[in-house]
Structure 1
Amino acid sequence: MDKELFRLQGIRPVMLLLAGLSLLQSAAIIGQALLLAKSIAILFEGQAVQMAYQPLALFLVMIAARHTIVWLQKKVAGRFAEASSESLQERVLSRLFERGPRFAASEGSGKLVTLVLEGVERVRTYLELSVPRTLDMVFVTFPLLAFVYMQDVISGLILTVTMPVLIGFFIVLGLAARKQADKQWRSYRMLSHHFTDSLRGLATLRFLGRSKDHGETVGRVSDQYRSATMRTLRVAFLSSLALDFFSMLSVAFVAVGLGLRLIEGNFGFETALVILIVAPEYFLPVRMLGSDYHASLDGKEALGTIRTIIDSAATDEHKAEPQATDSQTSLTGVLDGTITLSDIRVVGENGRQVLGQVSAELGSNMRRVGIVGASGAGKSTLLGVLGGFSDPEAGVVQVDGQPITGDAKQEWQRQIAYIPQHPYLFNQSLADNIRFYEPEATQEQVEQVIRDVGLGELVDSLPNGCDEIIGEGGRTLSGGQAQRVALGRALLGNRPVILLDEPTAHLDIETEWELKQTMLSVLGDRRVFLATHRLHWMRDMDWIWVIDQGRLVEVGTYEQLVAQKSVFYRLLTAGAKGEKG
């Protein structure tokens, strides 16, 4: 049995109940065999037909009992699978929100959507099938084997010897099937990723005249998935054939042995008939396990992927937890408190150091902090660390001396509003998009925020006003309008800390200037962290961090950094030359 199953909540009582039902099923099978053999023996020996009525009636009762037990097994396993898959879905979604947008971007949004929706459904199928089948292998197979030994030792030995051979073939073919299923699952996730990204970027692809080329790419990925699926099916069919062949061959060996002894008159007809009826039932659990193994293998792979995401986040929390020195989780002094970064170090997936030994301290008077540097310097990574989206390999972020770990991290993230370069607009009304942080906000509050962020003219021009559907499938908004929606979310949420990650990088100069004026006027005295390469913002910042190759090389006000004529000054002059050119 997969060891990952034992980590699921509530698995042990469910296994005990299913094991008890499996034992009852084995008793029903034995009862079936005894009663059916007795009925046939009565008729075979030429006795009155009426004498067979009672065992036949009891035989039907045993059949009904067996099917009732199987139905109960399915109900118990189904309810457990549904509850566990929903719990896993909630946990992985929670982890994805904790890890933040950088993790989602690195994994691929299409892959994560496939995992959370279809992957979780396949996990449910896997749990529903694998748990009862595995228990049947033990609590049905061994009681039947013991019963056969009680009837005839030779037949029991034949069944004992052939079962390991059958399991050996099952293991060999199962390993091959798992390898093919891994490839199929990767191909499926890649196809989903390509398809999702193609839908999102269809307008851009058509504008650039590359839609047909990208369509060919999707076609190639589809062919890879089709080929992987066919290879998996070939192995699955071969495995089923092997299991059926060897199980039938084993039953044939038992039948030949019994037949020879019946001819010699050394064995009773009714006993031989009982053994022949039980023998196929003895191999049925392993055959069912083999069949369902292939049907649910992709669910096992999905469970492993989900566990990797959940456990990686838990590991990051565990690494950060020993540095916590205060169990208090209240962060009431976010606006007026001191924010400290102590020896922050972040390592990328390829082992390259993204941030190295970053240490800084922000007093309560440093409300607006600009984070600047060349592309790839580590600005967004540092912003992710501040937001708790990226857990550092070493170091800690503190607010008034309290480490932002564990429960304090969750409380800190409830104080944060994040505005990325490309904010996501849900396929809902404009008002509901702005209510993202505050779902219970009134219509009057939403309309006030809409006016504050400069969306009043847009709303007046819409047929349904602020109830107009936007996002995918709805009315398309420009980049500047989408940023104003994101700004409205932050204002309505009334969160004291705002993280801005290149919010105007894709906007033209005029739109950027208008949005800049709006942001500066409505953000008020909130604490703002702005990561950008547009240096004209820095004149309005209280404090500036300059990142160069993952290190914090300069800090100070705009005037101080210009006077130093070092890294920031070179970035500033290079930007000025670029604009003149």
Structure 2
Amino acid sequence: MDKQLLGYKGIKPVFAVMLLLTVLQGVSILMMAKGLAEAVSALFAGAPLSGQTGRISMFLGAFLLRHGLGLLQQKIGSAFADRTAADVRGRVLRKLFRLGPRFARTEGTGHLVTLALEGTEKFRKYLELILPRMAGMSIIPWLILAYVFFRDITSGVILLVSMPILIAFMILIGLAARKQAEKQMDTFRVLSNHFVDSLRGLETLKLLGQSREHGASVAKVSDRYRRATMRTLRVAFLSSFALDFFTMLSVAVVAVGLGLRLVNGQLELVTALTVLILAPEYFLPVRQVGTDFHATQDGKEAGAVMQSILDRPAEEPADSDGAPGPGVDWRWSPFSRLTLSGVTVQHQAEAYGSAPETDGAERGREAGADRPAEGCTDGSGQEQGQGQRPQSPQNPQSPRSLDGASFEVQGMPTIGIIGASGAGKSTLIDVLGGFLAPDAGEICLNGTPVGSLAGEAWRSQITYIPQNPYLFSCSLLDNIRFYSPEASREEALQAVEAAGLAGLVRSLPSGLDEPIGEGGRQLSGGQAQRVALARAFLSDRPIILLDEPTAHLDIETEYELKQTMLRLFRGKLVFLATHRLHWMPDMDRVLVMDHGRIVEEGTHSGLLGKGGAYDALIRSQMEGVR
């Protein structure tokens, strides 16, 4: 049995019931064989048919009992599989939300969607089939073997010797089938991601005249999956043929032995018939396991992938309220304080297997950047040591996406995070959003150490605006009410006006009720950003995180949105990660990052003209910031 199966909730009592029903099934099989063999041998000896009513009734009763128990097993297994698959899917989805967008980008959206839908159904089928099969293989062959030994030792020895050979051959083919199933799962993952990406980029491909060329790429990926599936099916057919061949050969050997001894008068007809009827039943559970093993390999692999996602480390809130520690005031106010001390995040290729975000934190460190990380204080200058994360067990010389970041924020300032591509800006935003937990260093809220910012109480105060805001497949109104689903229509209209979306709403046939997103009206990049701003205006959340929110917009659209965004920033704590320097004069504070480190910190006017990293960025971009 797969060891992973024992970890699912409620499987032990279900499997115990399966074993009990299997024992009853085994007894009914013996009663069937005994009743049928005795009736046939009596009729062969010349006994009247009317005298075999009891034996025939025993055979029919045992037959109905056996199949009734089989249906009951199937119903119990199906109910358990439904519950478990739904539970696993729910836990996987909750874990994906905790792991955050970085993990989704790394694994591929298409793969995760396919896993949550088709993968869960395959896993459910695997659970439904494997439990009764494993219970049958655990009991029925040994029950039959014991009875055959009691009736005829020679036939029992033949059956006993045949079974290990059959199992050994099944294991060998099973190993080959598992290898093929893993390859098929990999190609299925590639196909899923490729298909979703193709759908998303269909408009771009059409506009660039590359749709026909991309069609050949889709066909190539599909053909690769087809070949992987055919290889898996060939192994499955070979396994079924081998199981049937060896089973028939073993039964034939038993039948020949029984016939020779029956002819020589060394065996009674009733015993020979009983053994001959039971011999196929002896091998049947093994054949069923072998057949369903190949039929459920996709489900087993899908279950393993989902379990690997569940086993990934993610910061869990330490108490039932979703806060990482007791006694922490989680409602951000002008008197709140957030402190990061020596926060380090190892290279993301080590954490998720993704492509590097930086070119290495050990190169090009600026002078003065190696300041010591300070501990959290309780407001009186006394350091708090508890809750500090241990140093990362990973190689300390490996590249880091974030390397010893230390700063403190109090109240409601606007903070610009500036740096070249790969400097670690997005990683810092992910840490502040709770999507990444630091490998080393310490995070404190109001002087209280916390492991990370993954608690629900912290996240519920954040408005997150990424480079490409996601528009859900629903109405424009529902998209705007994303953070505030209970907001009224009048409040949504006020947010629309504040975000500069009033003209768009008036141009839509259904106004706020116009469907947008996938399957609805497509919005431009600037319009999508305005929808994200309207969400933020409608929300009363005091913290705003922006990760390159205008990176994909032209400069005219960006300057048009800028005044709207600056109005949104009033009275809120804002972290704006960008590589465009024209935002910095409007920020209360600037953090300059390079290779995962905060190399300069201050105001725009204070950093200007110092000849440091900030001036170097201005010279490289030539944006004319004054």
Question: Partners in 1 of 2:536 and 2:284 — Cα distance?
Answer: 60
Indicate yes or no: 2:364 matched with 1:343: no
CA deviation vs aligned residue, 1:246-297 (integer Å, no higher than 9, x gap):
1111111111221122112121211211111111111111111111111110
AA of the residue aligned to 2:459:
Q
Aligned partner of 1:270 in structure 2 is: 270
Cα 1:92/1:493, change in 2 over 3 Å: farther
Q: 2:620 aligns with which of 570, 574, 577?
A: 574
- Note the C-alpha offset of 1:137: 0.9
- Note the C-alpha offset of 1:325: 8.5
- Note the C-alpha offset of 1:360: 2.2
Aligned partner of 1:279 in structure 2 is: 279
**Stretch of structure 1 that moved more, 229-238 or 367-376:** 367-376
AA of the residue aligned to 2:165:
V
Q: 1:420 aligns with which of 440, 450, 466?
A: 466
**Stretch of structure 1 that moved more, 137-146 or 229-238:** 137-146
| Contact kept in structure 2, 1:338 and 1:361, CA below 8 Å | no
- Note the C-alpha offset of 1:318: 10
| Contact kept in structure 2, 1:343 and 1:356, CA below 8 Å | no
Cα 1:404/1:218, change in 2 over 3 Å: farther
**Stretch of structure 1 that moved more, 390-399 or 537-546:** 390-399
Matches within 5 A, 1:488-503: 488-503=534-549
Question: Partners in 2 of 1:363 and 1:513 — Cα distance?
Answer: 27
Provide the secondary structure at the position in 2 that maps to 1:363: strand
| Contact kept in structure 2, 1:328 and 1:408, CA below 8 Å | no
Aligned partner of 1:454 in structure 2 is: 500
AA of the residue aligned to 1:331:
W
Aligned partner of 1:360 in structure 2 is: 406
Cα 1:56/1:492, change in 2 over 3 Å: farther
AA of the residue aligned to 1:130:
I
Aligned partner of 1:224 in structure 2 is: 224
Aligned partner of 1:389 in structure 2 is: 435
Provide the secondary structure at the position in 2 that maps to 1:6: helix
**Stretch of structure 1 that moved more, 390-399 or 419-428:** 390-399
CA deviation vs aligned residue, 1:323-365 (integer Å, no higher than 9, x gap):
x983346512455311111222212354452334323232324
Aligned partner of 1:522 in structure 2 is: 568
CA deviation vs aligned residue, 1:1-48 (integer Å, no higher than 9, x gap):
111111111111111111111111111111111111122122211111
Cα 1:60/1:203, change in 2 over 3 Å: same
Aligned partner of 2:556 in structure 1 is: 510
Indicate yes or no: 2:149 matched with 1:149: yes
CA deviation vs aligned residue, 1:491-534 (integer Å, no higher than 9, x gap):
33322211111111111122111211111112321211111111
Indicate yes or no: 2:289 matched with 1:243: no
Provide the secondary structure at the position in 1 that maps to 2:207: helix
Question: Partners in 1 of 2:154 and 2:518 — Cα distance?
Answer: 70
| Contact kept in structure 2, 1:141 and 1:282, CA below 8 Å | yes
Provide the secondary structure at the position in 2 that maps to 1:424: coil
Question: Partners in 1 of 2:182 and 2:140 — Cα distance?
Answer: 31
Indicate yes or no: 2:106 matched with 1:81: no
- Note the C-alpha offset of 1:441: 2.6
| Contact kept in structure 2, 1:344 and 1:359, CA below 8 Å | yes
Aligned partner of 1:291 in structure 2 is: 291
Cα 1:456/1:63, change in 2 over 3 Å: same
CA deviation vs aligned residue, 1:396-417 (integer Å, no higher than 9, x gap):
3222133444896222122222
Provide the secondary structure at the position in 2 that maps to 1:564: coil
| Contact kept in structure 1, 2:339 and 2:444, CA below 8 Å | yes
Question: Partners in 1 of 2:115 and 2:309 — Cα distance?
Answer: 11
Aligned partner of 1:111 in structure 2 is: 111
AA of the residue aligned to 1:128:
E
Question: Partners in 2 of 1:28 and 1:558 — Cα distance?
Answer: 86
Cα 1:192/1:18, change in 2 over 3 Å: same
AA of the residue aligned to 1:254:
V
- Note the C-alpha offset of 1:368: 1.2
Provide the secondary structure at the position in 1 that maps to 2:506: helix
Q: 2:475 aligns with which of 421, 429, 432?
A: 429
- Note the C-alpha offset of 1:446: 2.0
**Stretch of structure 1 that moved more, 284-293 or 249-258:** 249-258
Q: How many residues align?
A: 574
TM-score (norm 1): 0.95
AA of the residue aligned to 1:327:
P
CA deviation vs aligned residue, 1:129-177 (integer Å, no higher than 9, x gap):
1122112110222212212122122211111111111111111100100
Matches within 5 A, 1:73-222: 73-222=73-222
Structure 1 spans left out of the alignment, 5+ residues: none
Aligned partner of 2:49 in structure 1 is: 49
- Note the C-alpha offset of 1:196: 0.7
AA of the residue aligned to 1:521:
R
- Note the C-alpha offset of 1:438: 2.7
Aligned partner of 1:540 in structure 2 is: 586
Cα 1:468/1:299, change in 2 over 3 Å: same
AA of the residue aligned to 1:92:
V
| Contact kept in structure 2, 1:502 and 1:530, CA below 8 Å | yes
| Contact kept in structure 2, 1:417 and 1:497, CA below 8 Å | yes
| Contact kept in structure 2, 1:354 and 1:381, CA below 8 Å | no
Question: Partners in 1 of 2:140 and 2:402 — Cα distance?
Answer: 59
- Note the C-alpha offset of 1:464: 0.8
Cα 1:437/1:332, change in 2 over 3 Å: same
Question: Partners in 2 of 1:245 and 1:344 — Cα distance?
Answer: 64
Provide the secondary structure at the position in 2 that maps to 1:392: coil
| Contact kept in structure 2, 1:491 and 1:523, CA below 8 Å | no
| Contact kept in structure 2, 1:19 and 1:139, CA below 8 Å | yes
Cα 1:7/1:328, change in 2 over 3 Å: farther
Question: Partners in 2 of 1:254 and 1:318 — Cα distance?
Answer: 63
Cα 1:244/1:557, change in 2 over 3 Å: same
Question: Partners in 2 of 1:58 and 1:417 — Cα distance?
Answer: 72
AA of the residue aligned to 1:576:
M
Question: Partners in 2 of 1:160 and 1:328 — Cα distance?
Answer: 67
Aligned partner of 1:61 in structure 2 is: 61
**Stretch of structure 1 that moved more, 365-374 or 222-231:** 365-374
Question: Partners in 1 of 2:180 and 2:622 — Cα distance?
Answer: 56
Cα 1:404/1:110, change in 2 over 3 Å: farther
CA deviation vs aligned residue, 1:454-487 (integer Å, no higher than 9, x gap):
2112111111110100011111111111111112
- Note the C-alpha offset of 1:366: 5.3
Question: Partners in 2 of 1:17 and 1:65 — Cα distance?
Answer: 16
Matches within 5 A, 1:23-34: 23-34=23-34
Provide the secondary structure at the position in 2 that maps to 1:47: coil
Indicate yes or no: 2:486 matched with 1:440: yes
Aligned partner of 1:331 in structure 2 is: 330
CA deviation vs aligned residue, 1:412-446 (integer Å, no higher than 9, x gap):
12222211111111111001112222333322222
Question: Partners in 2 of 1:64 and 1:438 — Cα distance?
Answer: 59
CA deviation vs aligned residue, 1:209-235 (integer Å, no higher than 9, x gap):
222221111111111001001000000
| Contact kept in structure 2, 1:366 and 1:543, CA below 8 Å | no
| Contact kept in structure 1, 2:536 and 2:568, CA below 8 Å | no
Percent identity between the aligned chains? 52
Aligned partner of 1:466 in structure 2 is: 512
| Contact kept in structure 2, 1:14 and 1:80, CA below 8 Å | yes
TM-score (norm 2): 0.88
Provide the secondary structure at the position in 1 that maps to 2:339: strand
AA of the residue aligned to 2:279:
A
Provide the secondary structure at the position in 1 that maps to 2:516: coil
Aligned partner of 1:234 in structure 2 is: 234
Cα 1:381/1:126, change in 2 over 3 Å: same
Cα 1:288/1:149, change in 2 over 3 Å: same
- Note the C-alpha offset of 1:240: 0.5
